[in-house]
Structure 1
Amino acid sequence: MDSLWEQKSPDSGFESLDQDIKTDVLIIGGGMAGVLCAYMLHQSGTPYVLAEAETIGHGITKNTTAKITSQHGLIYGKLIRKFGTDKAEKYLKANDAALKKYRDLCQTIDCDFEEKEAYVYSLDDRQKIEKELAALEQLGFDAQFTDRLPLPFPVAGAVKYPRQAQFHPLKFLFSLSKGLHIYEHTKVTELIGRTAVTSRGRITAKKIIIATHFPILNKHGGYFLKMYQHRSYVIALENAPNVHGMYVDEAQNGMSFRNFENLLLIGGGDHRTGKQGGNWQELRTFARQHYPNASEKYCWATQDCMTLDGVPYIGAYSAGTPDLYVATGFNKWGMTSSMVSAMILCDLVQEKQNPYAEAFSPSRTILRPQLAVNAWEAVVNLLTPSAKRCPHLGCALKWNPYEHTWDCPCHGSRFTKNGRLIDNPATGDLTK
């Protein structure tokens, strides 16, 4: 079940670490966020290295639907209510700046970059759409209303974001990574102060950025309470229509649509990791009903870290870990959030002010309703009898019959049927 993007991507070809080294900044994790951090530090002349446990781009990044957009669902009204207009405006401006940065970089990178309009729609609640439009107007963003979309079902309304974009993420990543100081197959197994221990050597740094999807350091920051993980599924269809844009349902269990070349990508089937959901079966049923002449070319799944309040955690890892930084909790919007992370963190490690940093600070309040849900899931699964336990914090693992994996409903770690680690926060394989 390799993703569409993996079919047309070259090998990166970086070597493994084979000695002890020192640097100013160590980046742990070679997904989109980590590589963008490396690129920006390289451009600034700051000494850095990036350590990736496997190969760059082949963790969560390879499974994205690769939308580059400030449209993150019906988020702006919620941000104004939770944080006020100022922080909501910073969130919007940060993502607009990320889109502009991608647009500039992609002028010289062959990565199928295309400007597209992005839409968030509601199947049955026009009022939700109208409230979001009012919030965007308050923030000075020129969004538009429509209730006519080239999708095979009626909608109550949609917010249209002009001049957003989509691309081929791995083509972009591999091109951007050329000439960067990257070590692949260099897994960080332990952090001792500012020294990262790997199986092939130690990396000592003045500052460390952890960009590993779910943070690998469990002792600080409380990320195992501040986040949960969510799975979603994608199918790519041949002989399906061009929808001329990017579309996402405002409901968490809704569907998304975009084209790539002659393929229509449909996403959905969502569920909390370790729980049951629609998965590919829901998407295939939809495709048979609405696109009966189409045929499935690719299918894959992805996993996203979801925060308590819908905003990523980007900044200082915790109050007790000076010179340690984090980028995580992208809430299904990993492309723009990765660029925002790089812009913020590369300023912070160079001790510069960043205009967006406050809005994404990991030290903000955790007193949100989702915290109680996360705590309840942890307690229930810790007390559930099971022979298979997650090595992260000991929760009972659930068998996923669709992907043939052992999944943790507490924090989202996943393992093959033979116990090999697929997704963190666990850092090792099952022992039995």
Structure 2
Amino acid sequence: MPAFPHLEHDTKTDVLVIGGGLAGLLCAYTLAQRSMNYLLIESDTICSGISRNTTAKITSQHGLIYNKLIQNFGVDLARMYWEANQAALERYRHLSKAFPCDFEAQPAYVYSIKEANVLEKEMHALEQIGAGAEYVDTLPLPLPVTGAVKFENQAQFHPLQLAAGISRNLNIREHTAARAFEGNVVLTDYGKITASKIIVATHFPLINKHGAYFIKMYQHRSYVLALEHTPELDGMYVDEAKTGLSFRRYQNLLLLGGGSHRTGKQGGNWTELQSFARTYYPDAQERYRWSAQDCMTLDAVPYIGQYSRNTPNLYVATGFNKWGMTSSMIAATLLSDMAEEKETPYAAVFSPSRTVLRPQLLSNVSSAAVNLLSVSKHRCPHMGCALKWNPQEHSWDCPCHGSRFTEDGTLLDNPATDDLKRNES
């Protein structure tokens, strides 16, 4: 990846992008393509966080989402969600011609091992919004399925190759963390940045006083094994169940994903995947393994747009619900339009100020409250929740909002911005 210097002095810009993951980089790239004055700052190095651990599926098929979207928001908004994600897929297809990134068209499948009726409902929803899909009865997977919904001409790619290509000539400052906000001024260790508009693309939003994201989201961990010596497999496959498995190939490796759980809670992690691999791929050898963390919204739709109703020049991109590739591209287009004060047809779909479903909100708040009141000598510096020891990854994890720390207290994942205090680590 290209390297960039840190900020050296006070500066001014029209648009400040905070966060150097794929979402932030695509925002900066889009702003640059539109000849806008911008600056991107990253607290570490670009793509050093969530973006490097993705399984990199580019698809408008986000599990069995469309039936739920119609139930919650109606046919029109469900159609707009699909259209926005399809447009994001096509933009990646276009960018891959200028920036080689192992882009490969693939069909995408969401399967069920138990319930055919949920697939039938999804097919009906897709017919209502005009999305082409196919129902299939069998899949080339080692486990039995009741069926699957197939989207043709989706894609997979290497996100770090694309990020390296688009970032090379961008105005970026690494090792420059946003420490505080004073109106339209952002304070860093190396100077102040005055910006007319600010885009927060930091995975979990870092400003607590606006938007109430700490009660509207939670974080989820998932795990991946890269296996050698497995049968050939075309396509990308995900289980409709939250705790199910995903499959796709990259070159000579099978990427087997799963073991998911809420951060700070018990889950299957790599042991579940290793057990599955031993049973169904007895000749396989584990080449790599990694984990990822995703921000999850309560209605399965990302928050992309104005940070809150009372912050007109502050924007956010978060809550990608494990579908960060298309969501990052949607954020780049939508937020660049907003920075230019253009009307955008998809603003209502992703609005962070939309009404949150009450039962899910109460459940999320209750879960956080229990951990906030729990007794523990290790407490998260974000909002004081009791940290839980994760023996598989040797980390202290926050079950409220998803911050994570190494065994000695070094920060791994936000929304916390500081390490644990020395006497707590």
What corresponds to 1:360 in structure 2?
A: 350
Asked if structure 1 preserves the Cα contact closer than 8 Å seen for 2:409 and 2:420, the reply is yes
Alignment match, 1:134:
124
Q: In structure 2, how many angstroms separate the alpha carbons of the residues matched to 1:267 and 1:12?
A: 29
Secondary structure of the residue that 2:98 maps to in structure 1?
A: coil
2:69 match: 79
Match of 1:124 in 2: 114
Q: CA deviation at 1:173?
A: 0.6
Counterpart check, 1:163 vs 2:153:
yes
Output the CA distance in 1 between the equivalents of 2:359 and 2:204.
Answer: 21
Kindly state the Cα deviation for residue 268 of structure 1 after the two structures are TM-superposed: 0.2
Q: RMSD value over aligned CA atoms? A: 0.7
Distance in 1 (alpha carbons) for counterparts of 2:308 and 2:232: 46
Structure 1 distance, partners of 2:304, 2:359, is: 21
The reply on whether 1:395 has 2:385 as its aligned counterpart is yes
TM-score when scaled to structure 1? 0.97
Q: Which one-letter code corresponds to 2:403 in the other structure?
A: S
Q: 1:30-41 to 2 correspondence within 5 Å?
A: 30-41=20-31
Residue pair 2:42, 2:174 contacting (<8 A) in 1 also: yes
Which residue identity is paired with 2:377?
A
Q: How many angstroms apart in 2 are the aligned matches of 1:368 and 1:117? A: 36
Secondary structure at the residue paired with 2:348?
Answer: helix
Give the Cα–Cα distance (whole angstroms) in 2 for the partners of residues 307 and 405 of structure 1: 24
Q: Give the drift of 1:74.
A: 0.2
1:6 equivalent in structure 2: none
The answer to whether the 8 A contact 1:309-1:368 is kept is: no
Question: Does the 8 Å contact 2:229/2:284 carry over to 1?
Answer: yes
User: 1:234 touches 1:265 (CA, 8 Å); kept in 2?
Assistant: yes
* CA contact 1:12–1:55 (8 Å) conserved in 2: no
Please list every run of 5 or more consecutive structure 1 residues that lacks an aligned counterpart in the other structure.
Answer: 1-10
Per-residue Cα deviation, 1:139-171 (whole angstroms, up to 9, x for no partner): 111100001111001111100000000000101
Count of matched residue pairs: 422
Structure 1 residue corresponding to 2:211, chosen from 212, 221, 225 = 221
Listed as ranges, the matches of 1:338-353 within 5 Å are 338-353=328-343
Cα contact 2:299–2:357 (8 A) shared by 1 = no
How far did residue 176 of structure 1 move? 0.9
The CA distance in 1 between the partners of 2:311 and 2:99, in whole Å, is 37
**Structure 2: which amino acid aligns with 1:370?**
Q
What is the DSSP-based 3-state SS (H/G/I as helix, E as strand, rest coil) of the residue aligned with 1:99? helix
Structure 2 residue identity aligned to 1:114: E
Check 1:15–1:301 CA distance in 2 against 1; reply closer, same or farther (3 A cut). Answer: same
282, 290, 296: which is aligned to 2:286? 296
Gaps of 5+ in 2: none
2:220 aligns with one of 230, 243, 249: 230
Alignment of 1:10-29 (within 5 A): 11-29=1-19
Structure 1 letter corresponding to 2:195: A
Match 1:385 to one of 351, 370, 375: 375
User: Match of 1:284, as an amino acid?
Assistant: Q
Tell me the alpha carbon deviations over residues 332-361 of structure 1, each in whole angstroms, 9 at most, x when there is no partner: 000000001111000001000111111000
The code of the aligned residue for 1:52 comes to E
Q: How does 1:26-425 map to 2 (within 5 A)?
A: 26-425=16-415
Q: CA deviation at 1:366?
A: 1.7
- Compute the displacement of 1:322 (Å): 2.2
Deviation at 1:202, TM superposition (A): 1.2
* Alpha-carbon distance, 1:108 to partner: 1.8
Residues 60-115 of structure 1 show CA distances to partners (whole Å, capped at 9, x for unaligned) of 10110000000100000000010001100110000000000000000121210000
**Cα shift at 1:369:** 2.2
TM-score (normalised: structure 2): 0.98
